[in-house]
Amino acid sequence: MTVKARRSQDHTSTGITIALSKGKLLGPVLHLLKQAGYYSPGLSAESRKLVFDCAANDATFLIVRPTDVPTYVEHGAADVGVVGKDVLLEQGSDVYEPLDLKVGACRISVAALQGQPSPDRWSSKIRVATKYPNVTERYFNQRGMPVELVKLYGSIELAPIVGLADRIVDLVETGSTLKAHDLAEVEVITQSTARLIVNRASLKLKHEPVQALIDRLRAAVAAE
């Protein structure tokens, strides 16, 4: 059954649609799903297709950008999704978050050029470059520090080097990219791992298949 056909039905349909994040998370998440019994032939981290059927579980996988996963789930285009906690914190989507999959571990951190003075020594606004403006603004506001945000979509590490910003807030995994640009972590704002999220209506109206997925993934996570 195609996604279009599935969406045209009412919520009494027993099949579920699962939105997965393309990129680094996809490989480890597919491994967990396979351990949980959810597998679609041809679906891998290298696949170029965007829609895959999982006939054995009456499910359909959608492969989408990580930042789009909460939107698909919140608006019901997908019943379930997997996305990093960093995206959820930034977007504040109205979804149910029942499970930490404990893969894709990284952190949202404040970083600056080596030897840069700490923020509390600054008398004026701190200019911060980031692709997480909401997370960043909350962090500095909670500390009573005035902040000017510069929204970037990539190459965040360049901002302090060229004088565009005093600090950056970015996702950090090993820290090697920061070191390569003579940057150092000032403080960790929060940790991030992959999370299973569920559409609130689907949780009620498709409770059995959604709960089965949650339970089987929880068991797969515990077994790792």
Encode pLDDT of 24-67 as tens digits: 999 999 999 999 999 998 898 888 899 999 988 999 999 999 99
Say which CATH class 3-104+193-223 falls into: alpha beta
Say which CATH class 106-191 falls into: alpha beta
The answer to whether 1 and 9 are in contact (CB under 8 A) is: no
Answer whether residue 11 shows pLDDT above 50.
Answer: no
Which tokens is 158 given? 């360049």
Q: Look at residue 121 in the predicted model and tell me its pLDDT.
A: 52
List alpha helices for the chain, DSSP H: 3-8, 26-35, 69-74, 85-91, 133-142, 158-161, 176-180, 200-205, 207-223
- Say yes or no: do domains 3-104+193-223 and 106-191 share a fold: yes
Kindly calculate the radius of gyration of the chain based on its CA atoms and give it in whole angstroms. 20
Confidence of residue 125 (pLDDT cuts 50, 70, 90): confident
Q: Where are the domains of the chain?
A: 3-104+193-223, 106-191
Confidence of residue 190 (pLDDT cuts 50, 70, 90): very high
